Structure 1
Amino acid sequence: MIASRQSSSPPSILIVEDDAEIAGMLAELMKGNGFDARCARDGNEMDRLLRRQGCDLIILDGMLPGEDGFSICRRLRSAMAVPILMLTARSEDVDRILGLELGADDYVTKPFNSRELVARVRSILRRSSLSQADVATAERLTFDGWRIDLARRQLFDTDGDEVSMTTAEFDLLWAFCCNPNVVLTRDQLLSMTHAGSAGPVERSVDAHISRIRQKIEPNIKDPTFIKTVRLGGYLFAATVEPLP
């Protein structure tokens, strides 16, 4: 069971990194920018810290002893929606896409720029929590028996069960629901959600959409909701209606 945390405290960052020098540097960087920071050397220690106290974001190394970061990312995403930023020396496009497909909200390669890393952390946290003004004007929508609660950032399937979604996945689905039956280019989706900050623009959006399809489509091989428009982008083919 994951422990909860007090919302009034500074944003909490859990750094999962086996290199003590890098972990220490990251912790100091986060603390110096107003965050609370803790470090774990591997997946087991991460699990112990999460049970003791939740966190707002996890910075996860991809290359860890024992269970690697990609496996940990998959495991975390199946159990919780905490934002995950993967920080790893694996810089190939295939690794970036794998990280996103496994549920990471962003992917940064080593060596990294400290200011950029902090900016990405702030961006993820900003997207994972609605402002008070957004909450006051948020709507609850429904499409084909599915319900999406914009204020609580929750998605419920046709049986009423909540479907776990990452920040980027929810933002993309939200953008689609607000623009049903309209072709949206990848650039438009990026401007609405910042979903492509982790890597190559087209591929990062595609990876997140692939994960959304796995969660909402009756047949992943023949999508009925999120349709690909050749040379155009994507179209959300559903009737979206407001809920009281």
Structure 2
Amino acid sequence: MILLDLMLPQESGQEVCQYIRQTTDAPIIMVTALADIQDKIAGLNLGADDYISKPFDLAELEARVRAVLRRGKQSRQPSSLPDEYVFGPWKFVPAKRALYRAPGIRLTLSGAETDLLLVFWQHQQTLLTRSEIIGLIHGNPNALEERTIDLLVSRLRRKLAEGGRQLELIRTVRGDGYIFDPRACTP
């Protein structure tokens, strides 16, 4: 999410917005003193997802940020994806942020863990670098520190462990990244 003021000291906010749109799909809210309807139309036509004029109430800005993020999340998830994914004894339901272990044991996943498992599922048996994973989750490979992915993978591995032992569902390729292989839990 990018909050962009149009009246920047050294560059035009419009030029910055065009550059951002060429390099990322990150949501943009223009926050500016330019309140004329023509300015709003121009900003939205440049690729902004929303436009708010100064002065504004912080509660309104917060609500607009939540709304834009909600819309962005809905548009990033193609409707052709199944509601659940089954591998070995596991059933993964992204909409509920849940991982079910037969018989009926539910593990709650954080939003980041859900996004990571969904990316792994969509790219199974494919080597993904940390920056590729970040890019697939956030639309920008520089949105997070790469070590954040290591921490998420570690947490996900713990949740996917069977009887205290970790399966080879998520394999580390030293120096390169990770490979998700759901076949690892089939006998």
TM-score bin (small chain): 0.5 to 0.7
1:172 deviates by 0.3
The structure having more radius of gyration, on CA atoms, is: 2
Distance in 1 (CA, whole Å) between partners of 2:172 and 2:134 is 16
Task: List structure 1 runs of 4+ shifted beyond 4 angstroms.
Answer: 195-199, 219-223
Matched residue SS, 1:206? helix
Matched residue SS, 1:137? coil
Residue ranges of structure 2 left out of the alignment (5+ in a row): 1-56
- Aligned match for 1:232, one of 173, 176, 183: 176
Contact 2:158–2:166 at 8 Å: present in 1 too? no
Matched, 1:213 2:161: no
Structure 1 residue aligned with 2:100: 156
1:238 deviates by 1.7
What is the letter of the counterpart of residue 182 of structure 2?
A
Matched, 1:33 2:65: no
Cα 1:208/1:163, change in 2 over 3 Å: same
Distance in 2 (CA, whole Å) between partners of 1:126 and 1:220 is 39
Structure 2 residue aligned with 1:174: 118
1:228 deviates by 0.8
Distance in 1 (CA, whole Å) between partners of 2:142 and 2:165 is 27
1:218 deviates by 2.5
Query: 1:116-195 to 2 correspondence within 5 Å?
Result: 123=69, 125=70, 130-131=74-75, 134=77, 136-139=79-82, 140-194=84-138
What is the letter of the counterpart of residue 33 of structure 1?
L
Count of residues in Structure 1 that have an aligned counterpart in Structure 2: 126
Residue ranges of structure 1 left out of the alignment (5+ in a row): 1-27, 37-117
Distance in 1 (CA, whole Å) between partners of 2:117 and 2:162 is 16
Contact 2:131–2:142 at 8 Å: present in 1 too? no
Contact 1:135–1:151 at 8 Å: present in 2 too? no
Contact 1:183–1:233 at 8 Å: present in 2 too? yes
- Cα deviation digits, residues 79-98 of structure 1 (max 9, x gap): xxxxxxxxxxxxxxxxxxxx
What is the letter of the counterpart of residue 124 of structure 2?
P
- Cα deviation digits, residues 55-104 of structure 1 (max 9, x gap): xxxxxxxxxxxxxxxxxxxxxxxxxxxxxxxxxxxxxxxxxxxxxxxxxx
What is the letter of the counterpart of residue 151 of structure 2?
A
> Percentage identity across aligned positions?
28
Cα 1:221/1:178, change in 2 over 3 Å: same
1:202 deviates by 1.5
Distance in 2 (CA, whole Å) between partners of 1:170 and 1:144 is 18
Distance in 1 (CA, whole Å) between partners of 2:78 and 2:104 is 22
Distance in 1 (CA, whole Å) between partners of 2:118 and 2:92 is 8
1:207 deviates by 1.2
What is the letter of the counterpart of residue 85 of structure 2?
L
Instruction: State the superposition RMSD in angstroms.
Output: 3.4
- Cα deviation digits, residues 175-203 of structure 1 (max 9, x gap): 1111222111101101111298775x221
1:151 deviates by 4.3
